[in-house]
Amino acid sequence: MQNTITKTFHFSASHRLSKLPEGHKCTRLHGHNYAVTLTVLGEVDHTGMVIDYGELAPFRTWIDAHLDHRHLGVWDVYGPDGTVLDPAVLDFEPTAELLAGYLLSVARSMFTGEMAVTVRETDNTSATATATVATSS
């Protein structure tokens, strides 16, 4: 029998999306209080767990170090004098869908098994990316 566990992590960041129609509110610089839920699917082991929630700490550490209170996306934010106030930390425009896929690749570099990452920008909107990762033999 397969079971799933989930743990949600939070971070705040700014971004803008330039590929939307002119006048769309998301083309302007804005921010979100993101909720990222990591779901891991697997067999319950001898401890009675799929994975100990504490073992997910590296994912939290990575989010805190690379995304929290940062400017996401491909354009830096400049001050009135032309100096960079907030350098962009990604090389793509972070829609919820692309951010979920990106964070799934981060999680896949840390953990094995089938997993999903859901990125929630608001209480009403989210995007999910899923993948199966081969376990090492």
Question: Residue 58, SS3?
Answer: helix
From the list 32, 71, 93, 121, the catalytic residue is: 121
From the list 26, 43, 46, 97, the catalytic residue is: 26
108 neighbors 129 (Cβ within 8 angstroms):
no
In terms of residue numbers, what domain contains 75? 2-131
β partners of residue 126: 120
DSSP state of 101: H
Let me know if residue 109 belongs to a domain: yes
Amino acid 132: pLDDT: 74
β partners of residue 71: 14, 88
Let me know if residue 120 belongs to a domain: yes
- Cα–Cα distance for residue pair 103/13, rounded to 1 Å: 14
Let me know if residue 74 belongs to a domain: yes
CATH number of domain containing 56:
3.30.479.10
Let me know if residue 136 belongs to a domain: no
- Does the annotation mark 26 as catalytic? yes
From the list 69, 71, 93, 114, the catalytic residue is: 69
Question: Residue 27, SS3?
Answer: helix
Let me know if residue 15 belongs to a domain: yes
Let me know if residue 125 belongs to a domain: yes
**Counted domains in the chain:** 1
- Does the annotation mark 24 as catalytic? no
Mean pLDDT, consecutive 10-residue stretches, the chain (137 aa), reads 94 92 89 97 94 96 98 91 94 96 97 95 96 60
Question: Which backbone phi and psi does 103 adopt, to 5 degrees?
Answer: -70, -30
